[in-house]
Amino acid sequence: MFQFLSLLYFFKLIALGALPSGAHAPELAADCAQAQDAALCEASRTSFRNDLRQAQDGDAAAQRNVALCLRNGCDGAVQEDPVLGCAWRIVILASGPTPVNRSDLQAFEQECGAMSLARRLAAEGQARVLASPRARGIAP
């Protein structure tokens, strides 16, 4: 049943169309000075910044990496933000010709499915902004 509702949600996102301009996301990279392994944290932070730039340009693999880091923090390099991570999962599913696989749907269900309605709606709004051609306001 949840899979069916997920697909309905996905198609609703596609139908919504144009996105608001001027949206800004908070700083996402964390301060590695507090990490247990500062060198690993810095390397993960650099990788996240690169992935974020590529994700904004539509690279599906980078979008998956960004969503994962927003969920688990990537070695303390990224501030965890499950709502924004869910938004990237939505972008992946709504990306059209990009090959979407079963693991994308499973990740969406796992990361977005347990959220409250308010958080899912917030993720949907963020996904619309992220999918916009004008979405370049995220500071890594």
The pTM is what?
0.75
Q: Which of 8-17, 65-74, 91-100 has the highest mean pLDDT?
A: 65-74
In the chain, how long is the greatest CA-to-CA distance? 45
* Cα gap 4→10, rounded to integer Å: 10
Cα 27 to Cα 16, 24, 76, 97, 106: the distances in Å are 27, 9, 14, 30, 28
pLDDT category of residue 3 using cuts at 50, 70 and 90: very low
Note the pLDDT tens digit of each residue in 38-60. Answer: 999 999 999 999 999 999 888 88
